[in-house]
Structure 1
Amino acid sequence: MAGEGGDEGTSLEFTPTWIIAGVCTVIVGISLVVERLLHFIGKYLKKNRKKPLFEALQKIKEELMLMGFMSLLLTVFQDVIVKICVKEGVMHHLLPCKYPSNTSHQGKLSSDATDTTGDHDHYFGNHEVDIHEASPGIGYCAEKGKVPLLSLEALHHLHIFIFVLAVVHVTFSVLTVVFGMAKMRSWKHWEDSIENDNYDTQEAALQPKFTHVHQHDFIRERFQGISTHSVFLGWLHSFFKQFHASLTRSDYMALRLGFIMTHCRGNPKFNFHKYMIRALEDDFKKVVGVSWYLWVFVVIFLMLNINGWNTYFWISFIPFILLLALGTKLEHVITQLAHEVAEKHVAIEGELIVQPSDDHFWFHRPQVVLFLIHVILFQNAFDIAYFFWIWVQYGLYSCIMGQVHYTAPRLIIGVAVQLLCSCSTLPLYAIVTQMGSSFKKAAFDEHVQAGLLAWADKVKRRSRLKAANGSGHGSLPDRSSSSGIQLAETSH
């Protein structure tokens, strides 16, 4: 880059002090505003006892700090990196852009080196400055007949990409959860209507009235003109249902009742909607994180972004296909619950009750759904961040952008993934994953969680002391203590 103008070789020794002070003021001012904003958000979340969201905010700070540290490392070691020299032939393979046929890589670098070192001395005011001192690494590799492994300009662009990726990923994750919770809050009137009608699940389950299974709205809506034995049509119906009316009132009431009768039979007026919100807030901190396997994806993508492969376009289909498969699976879990009831009963006494089970999920683990949502959101954010970075840094018609007619489909896919995940898949995840064999610690308030865990630890310590003293030989803790320990461990 020094070859593009002598100003880039100017050090702080020859930069006006008012410029240095002004730039520092702007940078420090922006940093303080962002830091104070995050601080006030944290205080608000703690004041309103939103511990899961506060932990998610801390996770965002960690990710931003990690990105900043990566950028700092590139800055500190840039003089070392630009002096790593390699043979010219190494630079001719796996290029994101193809060099013009009449221009060789070595010729370009040689020309740049000649332009920057042709006049060995540059003058700034009344001071004479050596170009090699102003911009370390210029001409260093050329003197050895080699080329730099990474130029100073490429390092600057990499700094910008890391910053853009961090901002876009955090922004998209927050927007996804905000829109998802907004969709879930639209279900609150279903919960309120149940409470207003003094709905009692125990009494409803013992009503002497018998009804035909297929007369229930839950079964009728899930098998609209479809035989319960048609597996293919069941999957097809689940695929299209995720785009419109992904969850109905009858679905909500059936899943709610199944959860309560399985996990909270003693509390028929359990606020299922509030529990789902707390559970989703608890999962949010996992969504905003960037795990090691996501960095592996970034490295592989950068490696495969080769000229003519249009990797940036094909990679956008990965989160889209995963999201469609995930949404279909979540809808099909609800259909399976309805299918089980329809297969086992012709008529039922009282309300229809589904039976939650981990067997309905991939690998019998509902947690896999959250993992896939995490991967989908990051890949989509990475794809959008990469697009905007190329657009701003190199231009829409840059060779690294690829063929322009791929741009519109790529953006449409990215927007579709974001909207579908926010308004359909994430809300479905929040309620359908409650149909597993266990429930999350979010079912309890913070003080209840702390009390249960403390009590369980106390019982365990007492049991160990009895075993150590030999007084408890041949005896077991009472049933209530064992049940309490299991409940506390489940909540933990």
Structure 2
Amino acid sequence: MAGDEETTTTAATLETTSTWAVASVCFILIALSILIEHALHLLAKYFNKKRRRSLIHALNNVKSELMLLGFVSLLLTVCQKYIAKICIPRSVGETFLPCKTLTESDSEEETKCEEQGKMSLLSRQGVEELQYLIFVLAFFHSLYCVLTFGLGMAKMKKWESWEAETRTLEYQFTNDPRRFRLIHQTSFGKQHLRYWSEHQILRWPACFIRQFYPSVSKVDYLTLRHGFIMAHFAEGSNYDFQKYIKRALEKDFGVVVGGSFWVWSFSMLFVFFNAQVFYNYLWLPFIPLVMLLLVGTKLQGIITKMCLDSHDKALVVRGTLLVRPSDHFFWFGKPELLLHLMHFILFQNSFQLAFFTWTWYKFGFRSCFHDTTEDIVIRLVMGVLVQLLCGYVTLPLYALVTQMGTSMRTIVFTEGVVEGLNRWRRKAKKNIARRNNHSARPSLDASLDNSPSFNTLDTSFSVDLDQPSSDAGYLTVEISDEETVATKRPEPRQKLGSFEGFDSCKTS
């Protein structure tokens, strides 16, 4: 009997394992890894062909996230023996347990700790189970972000018909600048200038309800579109606002799909509060939902505040009601703060679903992690509900309202326009440098050096491309790698020219 036990223990090592079995397993794992890497490479090649650099950036963030989780898994594998050797007092190790009962382990490291009257900080088996959680989290986070982004794009698909309507004669006649109307007579004013708009106590509950249906109405889209174009472009421009929002959302998706230190820190707090004494299933799954509803309410409140701001400045409108984009409508004057909140909501919800799936797979559906029916129902319902609300309701609303800040993002230009302007800028710099070198080339002999007129001559000069030209017929455009482009309105007012779709850029 003892010999059988010894044989069973020895069979678990590579010394007594067939080489064909080891080679077969390694070959299968390597083939799967190469297949996944090749699929990601083909996807990046497709995005590059379609000139979707924002999606390429998002894909790179996914790769970085997978690499990070891979490093964590590798470190756990290498350090699992040393972690198990760390002994802590039993009174400390038996606090904040997810289960009421302890599972005994007979590993060599834990046996040594038990001989000292202590227990291991984290057993080898616990490290192996934690590695499963890392793989599940990587899968769920990537899948969850893609599904949310797909739902948002599906919801914004109908905005294409709204954008096409702005080019019809009926729309131009309805919004003729020669027509004067009271703000209360406009559709946007009828929707937002009501008795609850003036009272903040009543405004927030109304905005909370309005985020569900309709989350983005046709009137809101057309009015915010008009305010954006009037703030950054020439009046009457046929700029395709819907495609701009789509590109901006793709760029934000690259941020959401990645990870950050503070997001991972809150995830570790989630693991900590999974102890049984906290009854976390009664409150922890609701945190992403509460934050999501708070963001949606704030976005609807921004639209109402912009309408009230326009009403306070003028009672009569010419053509379409004009809302003025400004950062002061947003929390702390930073529209990008909403993006970080969306990132946190998506990551935490995907983490909770991944944790539920992991405990289900490793410990069973009715394990001590989910010993009550209420726990299972609440976690599943909250996870699916946040997924649908975030993708189909809040994300389109966020994509529209966050464009109403003071600054205009560089994504306003298409990839082709940005590349063309950058090439033009580099060529202009080369021409100026060549001209400067040519003008500084004449040789000066000794007789000229002694001449007073040449002694007082300064041959070095510089040309500043950023200075505005005195000729009003030229417009200098500078494209940088920063996220936003601040818009200045010189006196007299000068704006960018109209864009036809996204394929051409005209300056006047």
TM-score range, shorter chain: 0.7 to 0.9
One-letter amino acid of the counterpart of residue 389, structure 2: L
**Is the partner of 2:294 in helix, strand or coil?**
helix
One-letter amino acid of the counterpart of residue 163, structure 2: E
Alignment of 1:260-275 (within 5 A): 260-265=229-234, 268-275=237-244
Instruction: Give the distance between the partners of 1:7 and 1:19, measured in 2 at CA.
Output: 18
Partner in structure 2 of residue 484 of structure 1 = 476
Instruction: Give the distance between the partners of 1:486 and 1:241, measured in 2 at CA.
Output: 40
Q: CA deviation at 1:417?
A: 0.9
Q: CA deviation at 1:21?
A: 3.1
- 1:358/1:365 contact within 8 Å kept: yes
Q: 1:439 aligns with which of 380, 384, 408?
A: 408
Q: CA deviation at 1:229?
A: 2.0
**Is the partner of 1:186 in helix, strand or coil?**
helix
Instruction: Give the distance between the partners of 1:274 and 1:171, measured in 2 at CA.
Output: 25
Partner in structure 2 of residue 31 of structure 1 = 33
One-letter amino acid of the counterpart of residue 179, structure 2: K
Alignment of 1:62-461 (within 5 A): 62-99=64-101, 109=104, 112-113=105-106, 137=109, 139-197=111-169, 207-223=177-193, 226-265=195-234, 268-452=237-421
- 1:396/1:404 contact within 8 Å kept: no
Instruction: Give the distance between the partners of 1:484 and 1:7, measured in 2 at CA.
Output: 76
Q: CA 1:15 to 1:445, structure 2 compared with 1: closer, same or farther past 3 Å?
A: same
- 2:110/2:120 contact within 8 Å kept: no
1:318-368 CA-partner distances (Å, limit 9, x unpaired): 111110010001011111112222333332222211111111100011101
Q: CA 1:300 to 1:207, structure 2 compared with 1: closer, same or farther past 3 Å?
A: closer
Instruction: Give the distance between the partners of 1:19 and 1:213, measured in 2 at CA.
Output: 78
Q: CA deviation at 1:88?
A: 2.9
Q: CA deviation at 1:446?
A: 2.1
Q: CA deviation at 1:304?
A: 2.6
Q: CA deviation at 1:87?
A: 3.5
Partner in structure 1 of residue 12 of structure 2 = 10
- 2:422/2:479 contact within 8 Å kept: no
Instruction: Give the distance between the partners of 2:317 and 2:306, measured in 1 at CA.
Output: 15
**Is the partner of 1:86 in helix, strand or coil?**
strand
Segment drifting more, 174-183 vs 394-403? 394-403
Instruction: Give the distance between the partners of 2:243 and 2:466, measured in 1 at CA.
Output: 37
Q: CA 1:7 to 1:198, structure 2 compared with 1: closer, same or farther past 3 Å?
A: farther
Segment drifting more, 298-307 vs 433-442? 298-307
Which structure 1 segments of 5+ residues have no match? 100-104, 114-134
TM-score when normalising by structure 2 = 0.81
- 1:449/1:491 contact within 8 Å kept: no
- 1:208/1:350 contact within 8 Å kept: yes
1:195-250 CA-partner distances (Å, limit 9, x unpaired): 243866xx987732222221211111224x53542333322221111111111111
Q: CA 1:286 to 1:407, structure 2 compared with 1: closer, same or farther past 3 Å?
A: same
**Is the partner of 2:35 in helix, strand or coil?**
helix
Instruction: Give the distance between the partners of 1:441 and 1:414, measured in 2 at CA.
Output: 35
Instruction: Give the distance between the partners of 1:380 and 1:290, measured in 2 at CA.
Output: 14
- 2:44/2:56 contact within 8 Å kept: yes
Instruction: Give the distance between the partners of 1:256 and 1:214, measured in 2 at CA.
Output: 19
Partner in structure 1 of residue 502 of structure 2 = none
Q: CA 1:478 to 1:441, structure 2 compared with 1: closer, same or farther past 3 Å?
A: closer
Q: CA 1:75 to 1:487, structure 2 compared with 1: closer, same or farther past 3 Å?
A: closer
**RMSD between superposed Cα atoms in Å:** 3.2
**Is the partner of 1:72 in helix, strand or coil?**
helix
1:384-434 CA-partner distances (Å, limit 9, x unpaired): 111111111112222223533222122212211111110111111111011
- 1:83/1:137 contact within 8 Å kept: yes
Segment drifting more, 5-14 vs 427-436? 5-14
Q: CA 1:9 to 1:149, structure 2 compared with 1: closer, same or farther past 3 Å?
A: farther
Instruction: Give the distance between the partners of 1:43 and 1:389, measured in 2 at CA.
Output: 33
Percent of residue pairs bearing the same amino acid type: 39
**Is the partner of 1:331 in helix, strand or coil?**
helix
Instruction: Give the distance between the partners of 1:55 and 1:480, measured in 2 at CA.
Output: 39
Instruction: Give the distance between the partners of 1:267 and 1:52, measured in 2 at CA.
Output: 29
Q: CA deviation at 1:306?
A: 1.8
Counting matched residue pairs gives 454
One-letter amino acid of the counterpart of residue 77, structure 2: T
One-letter amino acid of the counterpart of residue 160, structure 2: K
Q: CA deviation at 1:69?
A: 1.3
Which structure 2 segments of 5+ residues have no match? 441-457, 487-508
Q: CA 1:278 to 1:414, structure 2 compared with 1: closer, same or farther past 3 Å?
A: same
Q: CA 1:81 to 1:214, structure 2 compared with 1: closer, same or farther past 3 Å?
A: same
- 2:89/2:118 contact within 8 Å kept: yes
Q: CA deviation at 1:138?
A: 6.5
Q: CA 1:40 to 1:380, structure 2 compared with 1: closer, same or farther past 3 Å?
A: same
Q: CA 1:440 to 1:204, structure 2 compared with 1: closer, same or farther past 3 Å?
A: farther
Q: CA 1:8 to 1:155, structure 2 compared with 1: closer, same or farther past 3 Å?
A: farther
